[in-house]
Amino acid sequence: MSKHAPSGHSRATLTKAQKFSIAGVATLGAAALAFSIVPGSSQTEATQTEALGAHAAAWSVPAKTQQAVHESVSKQHANADKQAKDAAAKKKAEDEAAAKKKVEDDRKAKETASRAAARKPVYANNLDGWIRQSLDIMKSKGIPGSYEGLHRNIMRESTGNPNAINGWDINAQKGTPSIGLLQVIQPTFSAYHVDGTSTNIYDPVANITAAANYAAHRYGSIDNVNGAY
């Protein structure tokens, strides 16, 4: 009579270690089978190894690269923001400086105009005022002459009448009478007219200044004239 194994124990029970060992062997076998199915040289195997390594690297690098890119972009944004703020601050400062300069320039211009107006002499509308105004113009134009020289010749020629006309001398006979305070004929007045004065021969200041200019060219100065000229 044969002996029977106890019920429920017909196969030996595998330990946990044995299960892991068998699984490992199976895995190795599958790997060996996979490489044995695809024939190739050692170069092919090396290429496959490199491909596997590259594939692994492709999954390991992006995390670091992504972090580096993120940091770089953040830095660029920060720099761009700083540059924009610096540019805006610079422009604001320049605009403020320009505005202040304009205000200061306007203030100085007004002060200069005010001082000029304050310094501008006011001439009386009489013989004394006409002579003094003429002398100031003569001085600015480099025309010689003195108050005494002008007054002396004016009193002799017209007795101070700006509308005086000589209707009898040789000039009048030729159709160009002597006119004004210093009895100037129109051709002479036109030739020696001084810029900045009236073009009207009867204007007292224009008449005096043109006559003094003529006398300066012909006699050196109105001061040297002591008779009809």
> Which of 77-91, 132-146, 173-187 has the least mean pLDDT?
77-91
pLDDT at 207 over 90: yes
- Residue 191: both structure tokens together: 């030739």
Looking at residue 68, its pLDDT comes to: 79
Looking at residue 50, its pLDDT comes to: 58
Residue length of the chain = 229
CA dihedral 219, 220, 223, 227 (to 10 degrees): 0
The neighbouring-strand residues paired with 178 are 166
Cα Rg, the chain, nearest whole Å: 58
Looking at residue 94, its pLDDT comes to: 93
Looking at residue 47, its pLDDT comes to: 54
| pLDDT > 70 in the chain, percent | 72
Looking at residue 224, its pLDDT comes to: 97
pLDDT at 151 over 50: yes
> Could you give the CA distance from residue 186 to residue 113 in angstroms, rounded to a whole number?
37
Q: Give the pLDDT mean for 98-127.
A: 87
> Could you give the CA distance from residue 183 to residue 188 in angstroms, rounded to a whole number?
10
Q: Give the pLDDT mean for 145-151.
A: 98
Read off the pLDDT of residues 8-43 as tens digits, 9 standing for 90 and up: 444 444 454 444 444 444 444 444 434 444 444 455
Whether the CA torsion 75, 76, 80, 81 is positive or negative: it is negative
Read off the pLDDT of residues 36-94 as tens digits, 9 standing for 90 and up: 444 444 555 555 555 555 544 444 557 777 787 788 888 888 888 889 999 999 999 99
> pLDDT band for position 211 (50/70/90)?
very high
Average pLDDT of the chain, as a whole number: 80
Cβ proximity of 222 and 151 under 8 Å: no
Looking at residue 25, its pLDDT comes to: 40
Looking at residue 62, its pLDDT comes to: 72
> pLDDT band for position 148 (50/70/90)?
very high
| Half-sphere exposure at residue 166, Cβ-oriented, CA atoms within 13 angstroms | 23
> Which of 90-99, 116-125, 159-168, 174-183 has the least mean pLDDT?
116-125
pTM of the model: 0.52
CA 50: distance to chain centroid? Answer: 64
